[in-house]
Amino acid sequence: MDYWSSSLAVDEEFEKLAIRMNPPRVTVDNDTSSKATLIKVDSANRRGSLLEVVQVLTDLDLIIRRAYISSDGEWFMDVFHVTDKHGNKVSEDDVAERIEESLGPRAHNYRFQSLTRSVGFQSAAEHTTIELTGRDRPGLLSEVFAVLADLKCNVVAAEVWTHNSRMASVVYINDESTGLPIDDTERLTRIKQLLLYVLKGDRDKKSANTAVSVGSTHKERRLHQMMYADRDYDMNDMDGRSTSVRGKPLVTVENCVDKGYTVVNLKCPDRPKLLFDTVCTLTDMQYVIYHATVIAEGPEAYQEYYIRHVDGSPISSEAERERVIHCLEAAIKRRSSEGIRLELSSDDRVGLLSDVTRIFRENGLSVTRAEVTTRGSQAVNVFYVADASGDQVKTETIEAVRKEIGLTILHVKEDAYAVSPPQESGRFSLGNIFRSRSEKFLYNLGLIKSCS
C-alpha cells in the first residue's frame, strides 16, 4: 500500500469513528417561523456533508427559502428555512430521518468513491443505467429513443439536459420482455455502439461518450458531473452559436485576504433546486464551503459562499476566478426552463417515448430538456421544446402536435420559473444586500466573523 492509500485509509477510519461518537442531530421546527419550517442539522464535519443534506432536501421536493451554513473546524451546523412546492410548511415525518441516514455511517461508505460517480442515494439493481454525452442537435433525442426501442429496451426513467450546444442524459432501462436489468455483455456492447454512432452523427467536434452500469445513480448529480466533464461551461466552444443573455446569473468571485477565504456572490432568478446546483458544482470543483448565506424569498435568489480549495488555500489566479464564474453560470443555466413546457400523462407502453419524440421532430420541434418517469403503469413525462430553427414556436404547431399525440394526454403548462431578464448587470456584493441580517444570526452563535 502506497503512502496516499495508507493516509486515505487512516482518514476514512478516523471519520467513521467521529461519526459514531458524534451522530448527526436533525431537528424539524414548525413553531419558530410562521412562514416556513426550520430544519437544523448538527454533525461532525466532513467533506461533502453540506451537499448530502441539500441533496436530501431537493429529493424531497422541498423549497429552500433561506439557509445559514457554517462548517469551520470539526463540526458543522446548517439551518434551512423550507416549504413544500406550494409554499406550505413541511409536515413529512421522515425529513429528519432521511437527513440523518445521509450523514450516518452507512452513507459514509460512499464518501471516498471517485467524483466521476454519484454519491447520492443508491438502490437495488432494478435497471441498467445508460449515460450519454454528445453534441446537441434537432432530433437527437428522438434517434436515441428509437434505437433503444429497436433494441427491445424499455425506458423506465430518464433525464436530459442541453446547454451550450452539448447534451447529457441519464437513462434507466430494462429488458422489454422480462422487465429485468440488461446484463448481457454482448447486448450491452451493441447498445453502446449504436448509441455512440447516433451521438457522433457527422458533425461532432468533441468525442461523444456512452457508459453503462447496473444499478442507480443520482441523476441530477450525475448530469452536473457529466456536463462539467464535457466542458459545457467553455464559452469558446459553441459551434458558432450566440449565447442569450436572458436571465444570465450575476456571479462575482473575490478574495477575503485577511481571513484566507474566497467569497463567491451570486444573484439570479430564483427557481427550485438552485442551491443544489451551485453546491454540487463547487463541491465537484474541489472547493470546500466553510460558510454560506442564502436568501430566496422573492423572484430573485441571493447566495454568498466563503470557500477554499480542499488543501485550505483560496483562489489564486484570475484564470481560476473566471473559471469558477463560468462554471457556476453553466450550472444554473443547464436546468433553465427555456422553451414551451409540455406535460404528457398516459398509460405507459413500450416505444411511447420513441413515438412522442419522433412527432416532435417531424413538426420541427427540438427538445431542450426532458424528465421521464414511470409511476406504476402510468408514464408521467415533461418536455421543454423549442423551434429547431431558432424561431418562436407557433401555437398552431403545438396544437398539431397535441392532436397527433392526443389532446387529453399532452398539455401545455405554464412554467412559473421561466427564464426572465436580469434586473441589473455588473459586479455586486451580496454583503451590501443582506449581510446585516444574515450574519447577525451567525455572529450570535460565534460561528463567523466579518471580513469587511
Q: What is the pLDDT of residues 179-219, one digit of tens each?
A: 899 989 999 999 999 999 999 886 665 678 888 876 667 89
Looking at residues 360-379, what average pLDDT do you find? 93
Distance in angstroms (rounded) separating the CA atoms of residues 17 and 44: 10
Q: Are residues 402 and 277 in the same domain?
A: no
**One domain for residues 343 and 409:** yes
Indicate if 55 and 175 belong to the same structural domain.
no
For residue range 40-78, what is the model confidence (pLDDT) as tens digits? Answer: 999 888 788 899 999 999 999 999 999 999 987 778 899
For the chain, what is the domain count?
2
Looking at per-residue confidence, does 19 or 386 come out higher?
386
> Is 398 contained in some domain?
yes
How many other C-beta atoms are found inside a 10 Å radius of the C-beta of residue 116? 11
pLDDT at 427 over 60: no
101 plus 11 within the same structural domain: yes
Q: What is the mean pLDDT of residues 247-262?
A: 90
Nearest to 392 by CA among 365, 419, 371, 414: 365
Domain that holds residue 19: 3-116+262-309+426-445
Residue 371 lies in a domain: yes
User: Burial, 152: exposed, middle or buried (Cβ in 10 Å; 0-12, 13-18, 19+)?
Assistant: middle
Write the CB contacts of 113 (distance below 8 Å, at least 6 apart in sequence): 119
The angle that helices 140-150 and 185-200 make with each other, rounded to 10 degrees, is 160
The alpha carbons of the chain give a radius of gyration, in whole angstroms, of 23
Instruction: Identify the pLDDT of residue 376.
Output: 84
Computed over every residue of the chain, the mean pLDDT equals: 82
User: For residue 32, what pLDDT is reported?
Assistant: 93
Check which CATH number belongs to the domain holding 189 and give it.
3.30.70.260
The verdict on residue 270 lying in a domain is yes
Tell me, yes or no, whether 245 lies in a domain: no
Q: Which three cell numbers stand for residue 73?
A: 473546524
User: Same structural domain for residues 305 and 367?
Assistant: no
Let me know whether 89 and 194 are in one domain: no
The answer to whether position 93 is within a domain reads: yes
Q: Measure the CA–CA gap between 365 and 351, rounded to whole angstroms.
A: 19
Shared domain for 360 and 406, answered yes or no, is: yes
Q: How far apart are CA 160 and CA 447, in angstroms?
A: 40
Distances (CA, A) of 134 to 140, 204, 232, 296: 10, 7, 10, 34
Q: Do β-strands 287-295 and 340-347 pair in parallel, antiparallel, or remain unpaired? A: unpaired
Is the separation of the CB atoms in 129 and 156 below 8 Å?
no
| Model pLDDT for residues 376-421, shown as the tens digit of each residue | 889 999 999 999 887 889 999 999 999 999 999 999 998 766 544 3
Q: Give the pairing type, strands 365-375 and 153-163.
A: antiparallel
Q: Of 326, 223, 211, whose CA–CA distance to 280 is shortest? A: 223
- Rounded Cα distance between 451 and 255, Å, is 10
Per-residue pLDDT for 345 more than 90? yes
Considering the domain boundaries, does residue 332 fall inside one?
A: no
Predicted pLDDT at 425: 41
Is 326 inside a domain boundary?
no
Q: How confident is the model at residue 441 (pLDDT cuts 50, 70, 90)?
A: very low
Question: Are 351 and 278 part of one and the same domain?
Answer: no
pTM exceeds cut of 0.85: no
Give the number of other Cβ atoms within 10 Å of residue 439's Cβ.
20
Q: Is 293 in the same domain as 433?
A: yes
Cα–Cα distance measured from residue 395 to residue 388, given in angstroms and rounded to the nearest whole number: 15
For 39, phi then psi, to 5°, come to -110, 115
**Whether residue 120 has pLDDT greater than 50:** no
Q: Is the distance from CB of 128 to CB of 170 less than 8 angstroms?
A: no
Assigned domain for 437 exists: yes
Same-domain check for residues 213 and 350: yes
Indicate if the pLDDT at residue 241 is higher than 50: no
What crossing angle do the helices spanning 318-333 and 274-284 adopt, rounded to 10°? 140
b/e map 71-110, b = 16+ CB within 10 Å: beeeebbbbbbbbeeeeeebeeeebbebbbbbbeeebbeb
Euclidean distance between CA atoms 391 and 146, whole angstroms: 26
Residues 154 and 291 in one domain: no
Q: Are residues 106 and 10 in the same domain?
A: yes
What pLDDT score does 20 carry?
Answer: 53
